[in-house]
Amino acid sequence: MQATELSAQCAGCARASRRAYRFHELEGVRLRCLGCALTHRPLLRRSLSIALVVGTVLVAINQGDALLGGHWNGALAWKVPLTYVVPFVVATWGALLNCRVSLDATPSKEDVNGDRAGPSRRRARP
Ligand SMILES: [Zn+2]
């Protein structure tokens, strides 16, 4: 069976994209391209909140003794910010993987069995 390429129009920039990210918004479910998904304010806000909490805990665990003991050195200047960047990237990446929609028209096993309607959410096959 020949797979047909589908595309979706991004709700942010109106570009057609074969890979889209689904967001539940006030207007309903909307699809966005990767660029618009990465700049989607609710996603960024949630990732920043997670990074603030997790980063603070990790800084306390890893650098707490140095910070409380007053042993500030140059390495803290990159270690502390990097400790906040890692959970931000992980939270953002996880959210994008979770809402990713592949518009591959090849029916998945669930589609064939009639369990789901619409395009498959499975990853596109090379
Ligand atoms: Zn877009």
**Domain locations in the chain as residue ranges:** 8-113
Distance of CA 43 to the CA centre of its chain: 8
Structure tokens at 43: 């996603």
Q: Tell me the C-alpha distance between 97 and 49, whole Å.
A: 19
Q: What is the pLDDT of residues 2-50, one digit of tens each?
A: 545 677 899 999 999 888 999 999 989 999 999 999 999 999 999 999 9
Q: What is the pLDDT of residues 54-88, one digit of tens each?
A: 999 999 999 999 999 998 899 999 999 999 999 99
Question: What is the pLDDT, as a whole number, of residue 72?
Answer: 87
The alpha carbon of 33 and the centre of ligand 1 are apart by a number of angstroms equal to 4
User: Which residue shows structure tokens 């994209």?
Assistant: 17
Helix axes 41-69, 76-99, angle to 10 degrees: 150
The alpha carbon of 122 and the centre of ligand 1 are apart by a number of angstroms equal to 21
The alpha carbon of 111 and the centre of ligand 1 are apart by a number of angstroms equal to 27
Half-sphere exposure of 17 (CA within 13 A, CB side): 21
